[in-house]
Structure 1
Amino acid sequence: MFNETVLKIRALERGDTGVYGARIKLQPALVEDQSFNLSVYESVPSPRTRSQLLASTLEWCNLTLQCQGSGKGAVNVTWQGDHVLRGDLGTGRHQLSPDGTTLRVALPPTAANVTYTCTVSNPADHKVALFDLQTICQSGG
């Protein structure tokens, strides 16, 4: 907008999403029309999580981690852990489900001292859940 004018809107609700127009009178002879595309998002609730130990031997710890968003509207689920980002989780000792909510991990016990992070987010908010693999592998889930 001209002259870095600010428009503030308070007490928004999800039903307020839409396109809004404004006619701004800057000088007696200068009028500017602006359109604003407003999207209203709710806060993201804490993720629903679950871990399941599939097998634990002296050589391997195989487990499944689940992380799901809830509430209204779409949320993204991303994973990070042990220098592994979501884009690298589909190969080797990590298998990511197509919807991104379930991660299967197979690690030797010497590498199980790792924390995996699940983040659920929308454009306005994010929440994080942590999975301590060593605790899961030793306790049985």
Structure 2
Amino acid sequence: MAVWSLWSLLLWEALLPPEVTHAQVQGQVGGHALLVANRPSSFQVREAIWRSLWPAEELLATFFRGSLETLYHSRFLGRAQLHSNLSLELRPLEPGDSGNFSVLLVDTAGRAWTQTLQLKVYDAVPRPVVQVFIAVSGDAQAPKTCQVFLSCWAPNISDITYSWRREGTVDLGIEPSGLFTDGPALRVSLGPEDKSVAYSCIVSNPVSWDLATVTPWESCHREAGPGRASYKDVLLVVLPVLLLLILAGVSAWHLGPCSGKKKKDVCADEVAPEAENPLV
């Protein structure tokens, strides 16, 4: 009887033009998605059938004369649950679960109602990686300023949006102009008054988000801050010292052990005995 009711329901769908509605559902890998069977309040359901339409057409769950059934062999076997309100829950979601679904409802008066739902499954957004690059300052640049490039990247993820937030500047929910900047890169100009200013890179998709925060002035301070020498300053000090040491070594090598008044007297004493020996 159940098989006959199923075939009659499918034939009903083919012969009668049902009323159709559409909806979109979003889910996260490892989470769940609830496909809700919306219908008019006066619609008294007698029979229902849930199907997967794409990428493969499969029978997922049915409702006949008060009996719920979800044991049909499909890619959602063991992961599909039909609730008493005829909504279908899928869990845990997998990356390949995105697709189109439909539910066909028939009421006690013989009217048909079809709803099509599009499920989109997203990966959970990982924590982004933020890198700080310091621009080389020229002579014309104002002193004590630092031009910073911030680069943000979320590995192995697609369908994400990048935005930047300057921390500690939001007042009463009103965001200053330029607080948020779309894109994975941001350029900012910092001064000594920005020592404690932090920037957050926010990566998000429709179902999840994460962020990473950096304080750019710390990188400027490491490059050329008070009490810290830049690589140019190090070269200006080290190179002359190395040059003096090399010159001193070369001079000592040329002068030898007999340089100086006392050393000359010692060398003369060492050479004198050889001079007293007559040649044979």
TM range (shorter): 0.7 to 0.9
Q: By how many angstroms is 1:32 displaced? A: 2.4
Deviates more, 1:117-126 or 1:80-89: 80-89
Match of 1:140 in 2: 223
Match of 1:23 in 2: 104
In structure 2, how many angstroms separate the alpha carbons of the residues matched to 1:41 and 1:87? 31
In structure 1, how many angstroms separate the alpha carbons of the residues matched to 2:176 and 2:121? 27
Q: By how many angstroms is 1:55 displaced? A: 4.6
Show structure 1 runs of 5+ residues with no match.
91-95
8 Å CA contact 1:112, 1:137 repeated in 2: no
8 Å CA contact 2:166, 2:179 repeated in 1: no
In structure 2, how many angstroms separate the alpha carbons of the residues matched to 1:114 and 1:105? 11
Note closer, same or farther for the CA distance 1:35–1:86 as it changes in structure 2 (3 Å cut). Answer: farther
8 Å CA contact 2:190, 2:217 repeated in 1: no
Match of 2:274 in 1: none
2:122 is aligned with 1:41: yes
2:156 is aligned with 1:71: yes
Match of 2:134 in 1: 53
In structure 2, how many angstroms separate the alpha carbons of the residues matched to 1:131 and 1:54? 17
Q: By how many angstroms is 1:139 displaced? A: 2.2
Match of 1:88 in 2: 178
Note closer, same or farther for the CA distance 1:72–1:133 as it changes in structure 2 (3 Å cut). Answer: closer
In structure 1, how many angstroms separate the alpha carbons of the residues matched to 2:115 and 2:104? 6
In structure 1, how many angstroms separate the alpha carbons of the residues matched to 2:223 and 2:88? 54
With normalisation by structure 2, the TM-score equals 0.41
In structure 2, how many angstroms separate the alpha carbons of the residues matched to 1:120 and 1:51? 17
Aligned-partner SS, 1:40: strand
Q: Which amino acid aligns with 1:102?
A: A
Q: Which amino acid aligns with 2:193?
A: T
1:11 corresponds, among 73, 83, 92, to 92
In structure 2, how many angstroms separate the alpha carbons of the residues matched to 1:87 and 1:101? 18
Aligned-partner SS, 1:80: strand
In structure 2, how many angstroms separate the alpha carbons of the residues matched to 1:42 and 1:86? 32
The number of aligned residues is 132
In structure 1, how many angstroms separate the alpha carbons of the residues matched to 2:90 and 2:176? 36
8 Å CA contact 1:44, 1:71 repeated in 2: no
8 Å CA contact 1:44, 1:70 repeated in 2: no
In structure 1, how many angstroms separate the alpha carbons of the residues matched to 2:101 and 2:177? 37
Q: Which amino acid aligns with 2:120?
A: S
Aligned-partner SS, 1:134: helix
The percent identity for this pair of structures is 29
Structure 1's consecutive aligned runs of 4 or more residues displaced over 4 angstroms after TM superposition are 55-58, 84-87
Deviates more, 1:110-119 or 1:56-65: 56-65
Match of 2:214 in 1: 131
With normalisation by structure 1, the TM-score equals 0.76
